[in-house]
Amino acid sequence: TTSTSRIVAHEVAHQLFGNIISMDWWNQLWLKEGFASYFQYEAISVLYPELDSLVDQLEGIFGAFNYYLTNRMHSMDIPDDDKKSLLKIYGAVSYRKGGAILRMVRGII
């Protein structure tokens, strides 16, 4: 299914982005999750074009925009000494916004 393919691709991407290449501290979590989210859709679009991963990715991006409109947002990057905020950085912002930013960078390059 699409959901299973997305999860497997995301976790395989973590083998490189998160396990081999990683951030210095958890405050840069959006890089790890953003790269994994971005490459999960790229892998699915190449391996399973019939799953239409671009539509799925855009739905995720619009979901992140909607999250912005309905919730109090936090920065994707938190200060190193703000350990209480570490759990807050997991969520739509780290996954969807991080992937969306990487997609925009790709479009610019």
In tens, the pLDDT along 26-62 reads: 777 888 888 898 888 888 888 888 776 666 667 766 7
Amino acid in the structure at residue 26: W
Give the pair of three-digit tokens for residue 61. Answer: 């991006």
Q: Which of 11, 33, 50, 59 is catalytic?
A: 11
Distance, CA of 101 to CA of 39 (rounded, Å):
12
Domain annotation for the chain: domains and CATH numbers: 2-108 (1.10.390.10)
Block residue for tokens 């699915």 = 44
Distance, CA of 39 to CA of 87 (rounded, Å):
24
Give the pair of three-digit tokens for residue 9. Answer: 């691709």
- pTM as predicted: 0.73
Residue 33 known to be catalytic: no
Q: What percent of the chain has pLDDT over 90?
A: 4
Given pLDDT bands bounded at 50, 70 and 90, which one contains residue 64? low
Cα 87 to chain centroid, rounded: 16
